Amino acid sequence: MNAKSIFVLIGILMAFNSTISYAERFLIVNGQRLNNQQISYLEQIHCGPIPNGSYWLNFNSGLWGYAGNPAPQGYITDNCNRSQQRPSLSERGLLYSPGELLR
C-alpha cells in the first residue's frame, strides 16, 4: 500500500468515525432536563427504566404524569409493587422444558 492509499483510508475512517453518535438520554421532569445521575436516581426509585420524554412529578406524593396532561398516570413506585405482586412463570410452576408436555 502506498502513502496516498493510506491517507485516503485514514480520511475515510475519520469521516466515518465523526458520524457515529451515541445514545443520549433526554428526560425532562417538571420542565427541567435531567442529567444521567438524576435519571439513575429516578430509575432506582421507579424500580426500572424510564423512557425518554417529558413528565411532571409531584415529589411529595410520588404522583407522575406526562407533561401537558394534568391527569396522573400513577405513582413513581408502582413498578416496584408490581414485581412483588405476581411471581414469575417458573415460580408458579408454569414454565415447562421442551418435550416435558409430551410425557
Domain with 33 in it: 25-87
Whether 38 is covered by a domain: the verdict is yes
Q: How many domains does the chain have?
A: 1
Tell me how far apart the terminal alpha carbons of the chain are, to the nearest angstrom.
65
What is the pLDDT tens value at each position of the chain, 103 positions in all? Answer: 676 677 666 766 666 655 555 568 999 999 999 999 999 999 999 999 999 999 999 999 999 999 999 999 999 998 887 655 666 776 667 667 666 666 6
- For residue 49, give the 3-state DSSP assignment: coil
Considering the entire predicted model, what is its pTM?
0.58
Whether 30 is covered by a domain: the verdict is yes
Whether 12 is covered by a domain: the verdict is no
Whether 45 is covered by a domain: the verdict is yes
Q: Is 78 exposed, middle or buried (0-12, 13-18, 19+ CB in 10 A)?
A: middle
Whether 65 is covered by a domain: the verdict is yes
Whether 5 is covered by a domain: the verdict is no
Rounded to the nearest 10°, the torsion over CA 49, 51, 57, 60 is: 0
Whether 60 is covered by a domain: the verdict is yes
Whether 93 is covered by a domain: the verdict is no
Show the cell assigned to 67.
407533561
6 contact partners, CB below 8 Å, separation of at least 6: none
Show the cell assigned to 31.
420542565
